[in-house]
Amino acid sequence: MQKVKLKIGPWFFILILLIIPSGLYTILELSAMDDQEELYEGIYKNQLDAVLFSLNQYADDNVRAWVNDLEKLDWEVGPKKEIYKNWLTNNPQCAYIFSLKADNINGEIEYLTIDNPALEADIKSKFEKEQDNIGKIITYYNEGYRKIMGFDLDIEHYSMFLFISQLNGEKYLSSMIVDSRRFISDILSPRMQRIAGENFILTVKHISSGNMVFSTLLNTTPESITDEQSIWLLPDYSIGIQPKGATIKDVAKKRAYNNILFLLLIDVFLLIGAWFFYRNIKREINLAKIKSDFVSNVSHEIRTPLSLISMYAETLKMNRITEEDKKGKYYNIIYREAQRLSGIVNNILNFSRIESGKRQFTFDLIDINDVLNDVMTNYSYRLESKGFTAKVELCDDLPMIKGDSEAINEAITNLLDNAIKYSKEIKQIEIYTKKVKDSIHIGIKDFGIGIPTKEQKHIFDKFYRVTKGALALHAKGSGLGLSIVNHVMQVHKGKVTVESEESVGSTFTLVFPIQK
C-alpha cells in the first residue's frame, strides 16, 4: 500500500504544478482580454500619432526652407515687391507675400503683393483678432526662436503663415498667403503617398466643412479614421490615418484571441496527459489491491486442507487408532485434502504459465465423453462426501475433436469446484454433453446462488471475484478458475458461456467447434 501512496504524489504534482496554474492563467488571460486589447490599441495609436507628427513636421520644415530662401534674396537687385513677385512665380503654392516693420505692426503694410481688396480686408481683420499671437511670434524671435504660425483666412482656401524675418538688417513681420489646397496637393500629398505605402490610408479633411479634400486611396474615402491630428500650419485642415485592411481593434482582437486559443489548446493537452496519467495510476492501484487480495485469498484456501492433513496425520502418528476402518477413513481424508491442495497449487502454476506464455498444450484426437467420464470417476467421491448428487447425460454420437484432454479435464474440474462452492440447499449438479450444429457443448448446471447479471461479464477476468452475498464473499477462492477455463477454451478455438440467475442457479457451457 505504501508504494501506491507514493504514486499518487505525481498526480497531485501535475494538478498543482501544471493544471491549476495553467487553468488560472487562462482565466486571468480571458478576463484581461479587454485590457490587452486596449494596450495593443494604445501602442498602435502611438505609432499612428508618430506618423501624423512626422507629416506636420515635414510641412513645417518646408515653410521654414521658404523663409530661409526669402531671407537669402539679394534685396539690392531690385525693389522688394519685384523680388517677391519673382519668388512667387517659382513657388506657386504661395499666392502673396507682404511684410511690415515688426516694431510697428499697426502701421502700413509694406511690399504687399496683393491686388485683391477683399483679401486685404480679411488680413487686416485677422491682424486685429490675433494681436496676442502676433505678440508671441515677436517675443519668440527676440528670444532666438523663429516661430511660424498658421492662420485660417475666411476667403477662399487661403491660409496665412506669419513669421519674423530680417530684411536688409531690419526686423519685419512677414507673411505668406498660401493656397491651402495647392499646398496640400503639391507639398503634402507626395509625401503622404510615400508614407502610406501598402500599410495605411492617409487623408486630409477640411474641418469646418467636414469634406475630405485628399486621400492616398485614390477617389475613395475610408469608412473610418483611426487617428487624426490638425495640421499646425493649416488650422482648418486635419490629417487622418487608417491602417489598410483590418482595423487596430481587429488586429488586437485577433492577436488576443489567438493567444487565448493557444492557451486553451495547451490546457486541453495537459488535461488529456493528466487523464492518461491518472488512468495508469488507477490501474496500478487496482493491481496492487488485486495482488494483496489474491495473497490473502490463496493463503486462506490453502490453510484448511493443510490443517486437516496435519491434524489427521498427527492422530495416526500417535498410534492411538486401532480400528482399521477408522484408519482407512483418516488416510482417505489425508489423501483427499492433499489432492485438493495439489489442485490449488496446480491452478496457480497453470495460471502463471499461461500468463508467461509458457503453458504447452498437446493436441490429440479425443472423445469429449471419455474426458468427462474420467473427471467423474475422480470427482464422484468429492461430490458424494459433500452430499451432492450428479445427473450425467452424455450424447451418444459425438464426433472426435482435436484437443488437450488434460486441459479440458482441468476446465471441467474448475467448473465442478465452483458448482459445489456456490450451491446452498439444493446440492444437485447436472452434467451433459450434446451436439449443437457444428459444435459440441459440455454443460454444467447448478442450483446455487447464481451470479448477478452485471457481474457476469467480469467473472472470466483474472483475479475477479464476486463479493455480493455472504456465500460468495466467504467462499474460498483465488479468482483464477474461470480465467483458466476461458484460456483453455480460447486455445481450442471455442468459448465458455454462462447463463445465470440470482438464487436460481447457473449453467456454464464449454463450446468446442467440430473440425471438418
- The footprint of ligand ADP (CB under 6 A) covers 418-419, 422, 446, 448-451, 459, 464-466, 472, 477-483, 506
Residues 6+ apart with CB under 8 A from 347: 410, 414, 478, 480, 481, 484
Cell of 195: 508614407
Nearer to ligand ADP, 23 or 469 (CB): 469
Name the minimum Å distance from CB 357 to ligand ADP.
20
CB of 285 to ligand ADP, least distance (A): 21
The number of angstroms, rounded, from the C-alpha of 134 to the middle of its chain's C-alpha atoms is 67
Least distance from ligand ADP to the Cβ atom of residue 513, Å: 24
Give me the least distance between CB of 292 and ligand ADP, in Å please: 16
| C-alpha neighbours within 13 Å on the C-beta side of residue 6 | 4
* Closest distance to ligand ADP from the beta carbon of 10 (Å): 34
Q: How far is the CB of 258 from ligand ADP (least distance, A)?
A: 56
> Cα(70)–Cα(396) distance, rounded to whole angstroms?
133
Q: How many CB atoms lie within 10 A of CB 494?
A: 20
C-beta closer to ligand ADP: residue 368 or 419: 419
Which residue carries 503622404 as its cell?
A: 192
Indicate the residue among 379 and 422 with the shorter CB distance to ligand ADP.
422
Query: Which of 169, 387 has the CB closer to ligand ADP?
Result: 387
Closest CA to 173 of 108, 94, 99: 99
Q: Which is nearer to ligand ADP, 433 or 506 (CB)?
A: 506
Residue 510: beta bridge partners? 442, 496
The nearer residue to ligand ADP, 393 or 461, going by C-beta atoms, is 461
Distances (CA, A) of 231 to 158, 180, 217, 258, 400: 14, 11, 20, 38, 108
User: Measured from the CB of residue 487, what is the shortest distance to ligand ADP in angstroms?
Assistant: 11
Report the DSSP beta bridge partners of residue 445. Answer: 430, 507
CA distance 341 to 303: 9
Residue nearest ligand ADP, Cβ-based: 477
Q: Which is nearer to ligand ADP, 284 or 293 (CB)?
A: 293
Q: CB neighbours of 164 closer than 8 A, spacing ≥ 6? A: 102, 137, 138, 141, 146, 171, 172, 173, 174
Residue number with CB closer to ligand ADP (155 or 295) = 295
Q: What are the beta bridge partners of residue 400?
A: none
Nearer to ligand ADP by C-beta: 70 or 451? 451
Measure Cα distances from 470 to 76, 294, 467, 473 in Å.
Answer: 130, 19, 8, 5
Q: How far is the CB of 312 from ligand ADP (least distance, A)?
A: 25
Q: CB–CB of 429/390 below 8 Å?
A: yes
> Which pairing describes strands 364-366 and 401-403: parallel, antiparallel, or unpaired?
antiparallel
Bridge partners for 238 per DSSP:
205, 230
In terms of CB distance, is 160 or 449 closer to ligand ADP? 449
- In terms of CB distance, is 312 or 388 closer to ligand ADP? 388
**How near is the Cβ of 505 to ligand ADP at its closest, in Å?**
8
- The cell 461430490 sits on which residue? 383
Provide, rounded to whole angstroms, the least separation between the CB of residue 291 and ligand ADP.
15
Phi, psi of 203 (to 5 degrees): -135, 160
Q: What's the closest the beta carbon of residue 460 comes to ligand ADP, in angstroms?
A: 7
SS3 string, 371-398, reads: HHHHHHHHHHHHHHHCCCEEEEECCCCC
